[in-house]
Amino acid sequence: MTGWRLLLTRPADESAALGRALAEAGIFSSCLPLLEIGPIAVSDTMREVIRKLDRFSAVIVVSKPAARIGVDLLGQFWPRPPSLKWFSVGAATAQILDESGLDVSFPAEGDDSEALLELATLREAIAGPEPRVLIMRGEGGRELLAERLRELGASVEYLELYRRRLPEYPAAELVERVRAERLNGLVVSSGQGFEHLHQLAGDAWPQLARLPLFVPSPRVAELARATGAQTVVDCRGASAAALLAALREHPEPVL
Q: How many C-beta neighbours within 10 Å does residue 121 have?
A: 13
Residue 88, helix vs strand vs coil: strand
The domain locations on the chain are 5-35+169-249, 38-164
The pTM (predicted TM-score) of the whole model is: 0.79
pLDDT at 193: 93
**For residues 233 and 27, what is the distance between their CA atoms, to the nearest angstrom?**
17
Fold classification of 38-164 is Rossmann fold (3.40.50)
- Asked if domains 5-35+169-249 and 38-164 share a fold, the reply is yes
Tens-place pLDDT, residues 114-143 = 889 899 999 999 998 999 999 999 998 778
pLDDT at 112: 77
CA angle 138, 142, 146 (to 5 degrees): 95
Kindly provide the b/e burial profile for residues 207-240, where b requires at least 16 CB atoms within 10 angstroms of the residue's own CB.
ebbebbbbbbbebbbebbeeeebebbbbbbbbbb
230 with 210: CB under 8 angstroms?
yes
* CATH architecture of the domain formed by 5-35+169-249: 3-Layer(aba) Sandwich (3.40)
As a whole-number percent, the residues of the chain with pLDDT over 70 amount to 98
**For residues 97 and 54, what is the distance between their CA atoms, to the nearest angstrom?**
17
